[in-house]
Amino acid sequence: GGTLTVLGLESSCDDTAAAVVRHTPGEMPDILASTVYGQTDLHAAFGGVVPEIAARAHAEKLDVSVKQAMEAAGLGFDAIDAIAVTAGPGLIGGVLSGVMCAKGLSAALGKPLIGVNHLAGHALTPRLTDQTEFPYLMLLVSGGHCQFLLAHGPEEFTRLGGTIDDAPGEAFDKTARLLGLPQPGGPSVEQAAKSGNSKRWRLPRPLLDRPGCDMSFSGLKTAILRARDEVVAAKGGLTEQDRSDLAAGFQAAVTDVLAEKTRRALQLYLAENPSTPTIAVAGGVAANLAIRSRLQEVCAEFGVAFTAPPLALCTDNAAMIAYAGMERFRAGHSDDMTLTARPRWPL
């Protein structure tokens, strides 16, 4: 096929996003517009994302986001070839809002509707940003997910391993709450860690002693809770330095686990494949610069290429959904009005 222009919608967690992506085969995909409305402030008082509040906010912001994305792209709807929307996995109210909005647009405009798996959106981002060729090895690491995937094609992924309990982003968010740092926890813990001593506490690196590339992060969360409670019991509260040291210790432990398990995933890949893969990272936690640079070191060690999307395309966005939808569409797939919102949807 030739040039395609796709409107994408994303509303599966706490960001309402719309984007327009244009792509001509053989050329770099072009993000003509990408808007993201974060809901962090709406959920701040509750210590986590409240599904009902999230769903309402998505319902209110989706049409506004679409309008803004179309204006920013400088296009009318006649220039759009298809509507792509996150159909899961995620908080069902938000996913439903997006799917209903996309169905309305598709019906009114007479344009094809494409349901996209949110995880495929993250996992295909290296193709959007870097034209990474299949197959590649992907570490998808976000607020709700953590897995090593072998990406063979736009809808073909093999899971090599992943977390057996929490996702690292969730652990970053929990750690931030324990330390009294703002949400989302990833960026605030990363910032606090800059002036911290990561060796002040001996924190666990769960499952590093086991073969394979499964991971675990819940024990680390508990260890941070205990270390914090010890300090609070001894001094009555946390100083700025205590916060930084705990943040640095936590981030170093997560980084060590991700780096070592990436080595293992790479070894698993190399044992079965003749070629060296590109290693790609995606998802919100991939925005962490300490983690990115450690993964880059691991890749350099093995002499394999490394790609990480720009920070704004690591965290949730609709450009990745538009692009993943375009890849599905080019493969000859689309949906109809029977498209359903799926709270769970493994790749």
Q: Site residues (CB under 6 A) for ligand KG4?
A: 13, 142-144, 169-170, 172-173, 184-187, 190, 283-285, 287-288, 315-316
Between 140 and 247, whose beta carbon lies closer to Zn ion? Answer: 140
Confirm or deny that 140 is annotated as ligand binding. yes
Least Å distance between CB 1 and ligand KG4? 29
Note whether 142 binds Zn ion by CB under 5 A.
Answer: yes
Residue 173: which of ligand KG4, Zn ion, none does it interact with, CB under 5 to 8 A by kind? ligand KG4
Confirm or deny that 142 is annotated as ligand binding. yes
Least Å distance between CB 347 and ligand KG4? 13
- In the window 293-322, what residues touch Zn ion (CB under 5 A)? 316
Confirm or deny that 144 is annotated as ligand binding. yes
Confirm or deny that 275 is annotated as ligand binding. no
Least Å distance between CB 193 and ligand KG4? 9
Confirm or deny that 145 is annotated as ligand binding. no
108-to-79, 101, 226 alpha-carbon distances in Å: 14, 11, 56
Confirm or deny that 1 is annotated as ligand binding. no
Between 81 and 260, whose beta carbon lies closer to ligand KG4? Answer: 260
Note whether 170 binds Zn ion by CB under 5 A.
Answer: no
Residue 148: which of Zn ion, ligand KG4, none does it interact with, CB under 5 to 8 A by kind? none
Residue 278: which of ligand KG4, Zn ion, none does it interact with, CB under 5 to 8 A by kind? none
Query: Contact 218/212 with Cβ under 8 angstroms?
Result: no
Phi then psi dihedrals of residue 127, to 5 deg: -80, -35
Between 4 and 220, whose beta carbon lies closer to ligand KG4? Answer: 220
Between 97 and 106, whose beta carbon lies closer to Zn ion? Answer: 97
Confirm or deny that 170 is annotated as ligand binding. no
Note whether 97 binds Zn ion by CB under 5 A.
Answer: no
Residue 94: which of Zn ion, ligand KG4, none does it interact with, CB under 5 to 8 A by kind? none
What is the Cα–Cα distance from 54 to 254, expressed in whole angstroms? Answer: 28
What is the Cα–Cα distance from 233 to 239, expressed in whole angstroms? Answer: 13
Residue 249: which of Zn ion, ligand KG4, none does it interact with, CB under 5 to 8 A by kind? none
Least Å distance between CB 274 and ligand KG4? 33
Confirm or deny that 189 is annotated as ligand binding. no
Least Å distance between CB 189 and Zn ion? 18
Mark the binding-site residues, compressed into ranges: 118, 122, 140-144, 173, 186, 190, 288, 316
Question: Which residues are near Zn ion by CB under 5 A?
Answer: 142, 316
Mark the binding-site residues for substrate, compressed into ranges: 140-144, 173, 186, 190, 288
